[in-house]
Amino acid sequence: MSLYVQVVNNQMAQCQDTPPPVPVGQDGWKNAIEIYPTPIPYRQGLNGPVYECSKDPVEIVWTLYDLDVPTRQVSQLGQNTSQYCQIVNQQMNLEVNNNPDDHYDSAIVAAAQARYEDLRTQINAATTQEELDVTQAELNS
């Protein structure tokens, strides 16, 4: 996809993915390219772009932000809860699905609850990114 930026007073005035109303090179219109950094999974996210208007083509550089430990903890606690609830709901649905061969398995729910509580304890006790990487791997497995 082609990108175009109109530069006015060395700043981005417009950015669009359709050809400008005048040819590139007139009225401050330039071609543009996007540059995406590679975020570290679960540790970084993408911010909005910065426009390098002095370059031709204009570089649209996406920036990164870091996820701190408390933010990652909240995310992991939510993921842990969601996984536990999904197992409980699956088991509850077995009991009410009108199939006489399907039954709620309390052992499956008990194992899921033990996993949930263990991970919740680990997540709440984590103080480093590395500790949260371990719990994230467990959540992803």
pLDDT tens per residue, range 103-133: 999 999 999 999 999 999 999 999 999 999 9
Distance, in Å, from the CA atom of 44 to the CA atom of 42, rounded to the nearest integer, reads 6
What confidence category does residue 37 fall into, taking pLDDT thresholds of 50, 70 and 90? Answer: very high
Q: For the chain, percent helix, then strand, then coil, each to nearest 5? A: 40, 25, 30
Q: What is the pTM of this model?
A: 0.78
pLDDT tens per residue, range 79-112: 999 999 999 999 999 989 888 889 999 999 999 9
Of residues 49, 28, 27, the one with CA closest to residue 37? 49
Can you give the pLDDT at residue 98? 86
- Angle of helix 69-95 versus helix 106-125 axis, rounded to 10: 170
Per-residue DSSP letter, 18: S
Can you give the pLDDT at residue 1? 83
Residues with Cβ within 8 Å of residue 19, at least 6 apart in sequence: 2, 4
Q: 77 to each of 68, 100, 107, how far by Cα in Å?
A: 14, 35, 23
